[in-house]
Structure formats: C-alpha cells, structure tokens
Amino acid sequence: MCYVELHGYGLVDGSDRSYWYIAMAANGIVHVNATDDSPPDDEGFFTYIIHPTDCSASDFQWFNTYNNPNESPRLISYIQALADGESLSIL
C-alpha cells in the first residue's frame, strides 16, 4: 500500500512576485520538492502516476487551467485515458 503526501500553496506579495511550494512523496520518497522560481512555476494542476506495486512516481504532467481554457479538456482526456489500476496524484 502506498502512503502519498501532497503539499502545495502559492501566494503573491505586494510587488506581484509569486511565491509557491509544491511537494509530493510516496512512502517517504520525495519525488517533487519545488519552490519559488524553480520549474514548474505556474498555475494549474500538476499530476503524477503512482505505481501501486512499488509506490514509484512517473509521467509528470502540468495542466495550466488558470491561463489556458484548452487545458481543461486536455486534463479530462488525460484522466479518461488512464489504464485500469493506475493511480493519479494531483497537486
């Protein structure tokens, strides 16, 4: 069984500079730990496939649904195309 931890937040200070943090770990192994201006650095959803047999993560995707209206249908198509048994982590 996989134990997945997800953390994410973002804010904008008075100078309009964005600060954010995202992290994802499966069974204590950190797969993403990103802050400030390190990629990925924009709004939307970040996804990973979590493999239930070994809790590894793969297939990182970014869907900028905030700035691009075409990303929502792309996200839906991506989710619908997942194989049976695949677990998706969304930040």
Residue 82's domain comprises: 4-90
N- to C-terminal Cα separation, the chain: 20
Averaged pLDDT for residues 55-81: 87
- The pLDDT > 70 percentage for the chain reads 69
State how far the Cα of 83 lies from the Cα of 80, in Å rounded to an integer. Answer: 8
pLDDT at residue 76 in the model = 92
Write phi, then psi, for 74 (nearest 5 degrees): -65, -40
Q: How many domains does the chain have?
A: 1
Task: Please give the mean pLDDT across all residues of the chain.
Answer: 75
pTM given for the model: 0.64
